Structure 1
Amino acid sequence: MRKLILSAVLASASLLGMSAVQAEPAQDIQAGKQYVELSSPVPVAQPGKIEVVELFWYGCPHCYQFEPSINAWAEKLPEDVHFLRIPAMFGGLWNVHGQLFLALESMGVEPKVHGAIFEAIHKEGKRLSTPEEMADFLAAHGIDKDSFLKAYNSFAVKSQMEKAKKLAMAYQISGVPVMIVNGKYRFDLGTAGGPQGTLAVADYLIAKERAAR
């Protein structure tokens, strides 16, 4: 497990090599520099809207640190933008936490406890590595244990896990946090220059897609 956690930290840390770099003006944002244009566009979940995806892992410290910035940004998105989170699953605890997120999403309660899960892992030292540990934790936040366990083990959630894995492969990601705009453009904290640079790139690409309509 130490090897898994170390590899996870390294995977996410590799995206932050340029995290101290200031965000560049919008006119300097270029394909191949701050973002990559995917060779094969990936279909979006809601055709007609500009899709923005964040791929994350609850155990990733950089995802945790990115949360306040991306949450504030997402709250102000216009109606023509569809923002969604997808759990990255590279095996082991990544998959367990991904299944947790998707179970809560299927229950319609994910927004209520998303932040609390990050806090539990990164500030309280909880691992949330088993369904029973998750159910006990969630019960303290008003979520019925039996309902959660039923959702966690459901065929629907396991199907969503397979879909999320296929999307991550299509996006060609190697670490988190990473963002995708409209199934066409991939970028992360390292290439974009930190949290604010990442969101500036997202804004630029949203505007680019809107103008191309």
Structure 2
Amino acid sequence: MRKLVLSAVLVTASLFGLPATAAEFQAGKEYVELKNPVPVAEPGKIEVVELFWYGCPHCYQFEPVLNPWIEQLPEDVDFKRIPAMFGGVWNVHGQMFLALESMGVEQKVHDAVFNAYHREGNKLDTPEKMAEFLAGQGVDSDAFLKAYKSFGVKGRAEQAKKLAMAYQITGVPVMIVNGKYRFDIGSAGGPQRALEVADFLIEKERAAQ
């Protein structure tokens, strides 16, 4: 069932809608307003979350559009990536991301992990395969395996699952602004317009503060 839902999201994600001004973005159309807002990690800042999976082709294609946008975000915006963990290899990859993040090396190898899966055919579906690959990226394999199996990372994995449920996501990539608004590439009308929706909602939250 998850695969069917994800497939529907990925199909719509490839569509690019007609241009629209920010004033035309509407709840129930380009984005959904959550009935039960989710508390943000850092009160006082506007939180933007991307939920993703390393095996998702549209997450991979979104990266070159998303990354330059992240780099120019103002100081009052707190951007976070959270792995979607729907079971199986999703959980394995999510735990890898969280282990790398706990080690402080996730940003260094994030693109390389995506490329390994989508360009090199390395599915990275076991901790041992991950450690071997990451060693080639300058990450200590023993330290990675220790972090991957740690109580702290497993606890953060459970927290990520709970957040995904609270956000009511059914596929990826999905973005959440300030724990209140959810949208994906398909509903927004394409990758670039998704970021325009994000900018619109960031400004909406900034004006409300």
Same fold (TM over 0.5): yes
For these two proteins, the number of residue pairs brought into alignment is: 209
Is the CA contact (8 Å cut-off) linking 1:58 and 1:97 kept in structure 2? yes
Q: How many Å separate the matches in 1 of 2:5 and 2:137?
A: 28
Q: How many Å separate the matches in 1 of 2:151 and 2:107?
A: 22
Letter in 1 for 2:146: K
Counterpart selection for 2:165 from 166, 169, 172: 169
What TM-score does the superposition give when structure 1 sets the normalisation length?
A: 0.95
Letter in 1 for 2:192: Q
1:198 deviates by 0.3
Q: How many Å separate the matches in 2 of 1:100 and 1:207?
A: 33
Is the CA contact (8 Å cut-off) linking 1:22 and 1:194 kept in structure 2? no
User: 1:40-51 counterparts in 2 under 5 A?
Assistant: 40-51=36-47
Structure 1 gap segments, 5+ residues each: none
Letter in 1 for 2:95: Q
Letter in 2 for 1:64: Y
Q: How many Å separate the matches in 2 of 1:108 and 1:11?
A: 34
Q: Which runs of 4+ in 1 moved over 6 A?
A: none
Is the CA contact (8 Å cut-off) linking 1:89 and 1:165 kept in structure 2? yes
Q: How many Å separate the matches in 1 of 2:19 and 2:44?
A: 29
RMSD: 1.5
User: 1:18-167 counterparts in 2 under 5 A?
Assistant: 19-167=15-163
1:24 deviates by 1.5
Q: How many Å separate the matches in 2 of 1:7 and 1:97?
A: 20
Structure 2 gap segments, 5+ residues each: none
Q: CA distance change for structure 1 residues 9 and 35 in 2, over 3 Å: closer, same or farther?
A: closer
Q: How many Å separate the matches in 2 of 1:165 and 1:14?
A: 24
